[in-house]
Amino acid sequence: MSSPPIRILIFSFILLRSFLGYSQVTIIPYSSPWKYLDNGSNQGTGWSASSFNDAGWSVGNSELGYGDGDEATVVSYGPSSSNKYITTYFRKTVNIPDPSAFTNFSLSIEYDDGMIVYINGTEVARAKMTNPVSYTKLADAPSVEDQVGNFTIPVSAFTAGSNTIAVEVHQQSVSSSDISFNLQLLANDAFAATLVRGPYLNRGGQSTMTVRWRTTTAVASRLEIGTVFGVYPTVLTNATPKTEHELVLTGLEPDTKYYYRVGNTVLTGANDPDRFFVTLPSANTTRKLRFAVFGDCGRDQNGFQSGALTQYRAYLAANTISEVDGMLLLGDNAYDNGTDAEFTDGFFDVYSSNILKNHKIYPSPGNHEYANAANPTSRTIAYYQSFTMPANGELGGVSSGTEAFYSFDAGDIHFISLDSYGMEAGNTRLYDTTGVQALWLKSDLAATNKKWVIAFFHHPPYTKGSHNSDTEADLRAIRENFIRILERNGVDMVLCGHSHNYERSYLLKGYYKATAAGSPLTESNFSIGAHAVGSSNGKYDGSSNSCVYTTGSGKYNHGTVYVVSGSAGADGGVQTDYDGYPHNALPNSIDDGGMFYFEVEKNRLDAKFIRRTGEIADQFTIMKDVNQKDTIDILEGEPITLTASWPGTYHWSTGATTASITVTPAAGINNYTVNDSLSCINDQVVVYANVCNTATNTWVGKVSTAWENPQNWSCNTVPGEATDVIIDHGSPNTPVISSNVVIKSITTSRGVSVVVGAGFTLRLTGN
């Protein structure tokens, strides 16, 4: 096929640029840090150039100024209130790899009284300043408070790479009461003007990523990626014109950050530093994994959605977290009937401009996706059209063959997304334990060997929020019939929505059976002693009764934490019946909006509920396989490294505060302990250092016939015989006494032993 005439390409370019205006990429946000000079000196004309040396200037966040009381950084005004500095200077350097990817730039500046803006030494904007300009030049007129000027800056003002923005602000008089400076620079992305959804990330794994977006008209698809911002050597295309774009990347490196941009054959999207993804790490990763959880987030009722999103982003910024490993959706992601338009308005329009650019989405459906009772068997509803799920085990786990429920692995975590409302073959739902979904779940749980197992779905087994698990049949059925499958297979945490509030349980175990035949299980049946693994609230914050939850690894019922986080978009109130809110098994509850966030590092899980007000309203910690007791045999004089069984804080009996210590124990029995800072966890290690320190030597002497009371042995420099020694056949309770055993060799690995003959091992330090 021949190429289309050039006039058609030109027409297409003009047509695409005409849509809806421009989408914008933030280059310099308001409240950014700036270098500034506030000493009243004469900087001449060269101070605005890129080559100017501003190393001696001060640095502060904007707004910069004095006199109004809203400044983030207060600058100096000069010798006295009647003799103030006239000119204050500001500079900032930003990187724009490819200015030509944008149509133009929008600059907004708050100033008081007059100002001039330069880019790379060339003036691009001014207000209330006439020539000639000098450091003693007064502004032409005073500004109104918080005066803002808006300017369109051409692409030609910038160079590819580093660009210096310089601003001089002038007072209108030497006794002016205030000065203000704040600046925002936005890049107008022509291709993004054609986007009506996304781009967003689905089915992200160790070596694969699915990137999706929607355009206003059918055009070709183009996806470019690279590991360096602004450099995109890998290009994927699909020449078939379409509005729903979906390109799948394969062959990626695990735990690697990739930048990307989307476009078509005519326009290329801008270089946006927020458009990136990080592939999932390998199974043996030791780094911290981070996940954001949004429940019932598909609307903004009373500002709950915007508040939860804003405070989540603020939390990331405050904790310098730039990369999150996944975004879990707990259902009801679009209200009221899960239509495509509702997904656009209530979900994608809200999250696409910020976190969807770089958060891999792993969703689950709720009842509103199915329009409540209208479409429980449909798999063509907007939810399934909007997201791409790993239905065939692409990311680990057993293939489910359906996007309704699936599993995936991230490091040493096995995630399971379930459908608690849709119907499968035979009209079975999640709580039908012989149904399609339950049978798949059993096989999936049996197959995983991950340390952590986390399940998420919409309908909670316990709640007294906007729904009542004592009275609603579907919630009771999930509790009484289904969750025992999760618990007996060692699921650590269950995340649900549906109730529009936040609720969090004790470490529960076996709280799903009725107390007597024929009687229902209700909140009033709950007993901490019978149904919880200890009475701690797990907050691990030093408050009363707050020690960390401790469990073991493996497929057995070691206890499960249940979280209801369904208020990322609305608040629905709470139950006021006799056994009302909060549920007795979920005392850590807050009737307000927010989102749930958790981190996993090795054998430690930390979780938080970030309230829409910014408060961390709840937190808890789970640790696995801690409080270890160990015995180690070593050669006398041999150094050994001991490591605490958890990541966190440490207080060793030696006085050390590091995770590991290296010691050279004295001959004999040595005891070491390590605690956390809150005295909730304690490891104990006994080191026996009574083995000769030269492997070629032979041990001679006599050991007590009492297995528990070994004697120290002396060391010969020549081979010899040991008499009356204990021979361990692998059964320490039945030692065998043997005489004149020739000692052949010494093994100095962990669990040191002396080989005395084929099939026999001599332990020198007892049991």
**CATH assignment at residue 648:** 2.60.40.10
Does residue 210 sit in the same domain as residue 294? no
The residue out of 189, 207, 229 marking a domain boundary is 189
Does residue 527 sit in the same domain as residue 459? yes
Specify the pLDDT at position 351: 96
Domain count of the fold of the chain:
5
Specify the pLDDT at position 268: 77
pLDDT in tens, 563-592: 999 999 999 899 987 678 999 999 999 999
Q: Does this model's pTM top 0.85?
A: no
Lowest mean pLDDT among 369-373, 622-626, 705-709: 705-709
pLDDT in tens, 630-650: 988 776 678 999 999 999 999
Does residue 452 sit in the same domain as residue 473? yes
In CATH, what number is assigned to the domain containing residue 508? 3.60.21.10
Check whether 5 has a pLDDT greater than 90. no
How far is 598 from 610, CA to CA, in rounded Å?
Answer: 10
In a domain, 752, yes or no: yes
Q: Do the Cβ atoms of 353 and 588 come closer than 8 Å?
A: no
DSSP conformation class of 680 = -
Check whether 694 has a pLDDT greater than 50. no
pLDDT in tens, 604-623: 999 999 999 999 999 999 99
Q: Is 101 helix (H, G, I), strand (E, B) or coil?
A: helix
Specify the pLDDT at position 514: 65
Highest mean predicted confidence (pLDDT) among 264-268, 408-412, 750-754: 408-412
Residues 284-303 as b or e (16 or more Cβ within 10 Å = b): ebeeebbbbbbbbbbbbeee
Mean pLDDT for the stretch of residues 67-89: 93
With residue 466 as reference, give the H or E element that holds it: none
pLDDT in tens, 90-124: 999 999 988 887 889 999 999 999 999 999 999 99
Does residue 64 sit in the same domain as residue 151? yes
With residue 15 as reference, give the H or E element that holds it: helix 6-17
Strand order in the sheet with 58-61: 58-61, 33-37, 87-96, 161-170, 114-119, 122-127
Check whether 24 has a pLDDT greater than 90. no
In a domain, 10, yes or no: no
Specify the pLDDT at position 690: 58
Strands 104-112 and 257-263, how do they pair? Answer: unpaired
Structure token digits, residue 303: 């500002």
Check whether 749 has a pLDDT greater than 70. no
The residue out of 690, 718, 739 marking a domain boundary is 690
How far is 381 from 404, CA to CA, in rounded Å?
Answer: 11
Q: Is 437 helix (H, G, I), strand (E, B) or coil?
A: helix
Chain-centroid distance of CA 477 in Å reads 32
Specify the pLDDT at position 102: 83
Residue 360 confidence class, pLDDT cut points 50, 70, 90? very high
Q: Do the Cβ atoms of 417 and 363 come closer than 8 Å?
A: yes
Q: Is 350 helix (H, G, I), strand (E, B) or coil?
A: helix
With a CB cutoff of 8 Å and minimum separation 6, the contacts of 636 are 667, 689, 690, 691, 692, 693
Does residue 651 sit in the same domain as residue 748? no
pLDDT more than 70, % of the chain? 86
pLDDT in tens, 129-184: 999 999 999 999 887 777 899 999 999 999 999 999 999 999 999 999 999 999 99
Residue 265 confidence class, pLDDT cut points 50, 70, 90? confident
Check whether 699 has a pLDDT greater than 50. no
Does residue 534 sit in the same domain as residue 522? yes
In a domain, 721, yes or no: yes
Residue 715 lies in domain: 694-762
